[in-house]
Amino acid sequence: MWGKRAVVLSTNKYILVSMTSASTQINLRLPPKLQSAAEQYTENFGYRNIQELILEAIRDKIFRDNKYDETFSAKEIDLIEKLLSVSIEKGKIKDQNDIIKALQ
């Protein structure tokens, strides 16, 4: 289940990291000063590696700035849309307030 992935730390420096097989690999180039600062931050704040720091930074940016978790699968979105359509057709949902009430 676990695989090895190389993450580019600079134009000619790679680090091998473990990721689940469901993860997508990306290559990231960092200027030398940013790489050095990231390495120092990693050491100072107890991260296992730079990848862990980067993953936390991305999660923080995405989930802090987004009000809603938009990680529904296509099947879940389709099911929600069908449920809303049927509820609107049957007159159970007339506006946004009805949706909010139903979700509470």
Task: Read off the pLDDT band of 15 (50, 70, 90).
Answer: low
Which tokens belong to 57? 């930074």
User: Quick one: how many helices (H) and strands (E) in the chain?
Assistant: 4, 2
- Taking residues 82-91, report their average pLDDT: 86
For the segment 31-69, what is each residue's pLDDT rounded down to a tens digit? Answer: 999 999 999 999 999 999 999 999 999 888 877 766 656
- Backbone φ and ψ of 98, nearest 5°: -65, -35
- Rounded CA separation 29/11 (Å): 6
Q: What is the pLDDT of residue 69?
A: 61
E-only strand ranges, 1-104: 2-10, 13-20
For the whole model, what pTM was predicted?
Answer: 0.44
pLDDT of 87 over the 80 cut: yes
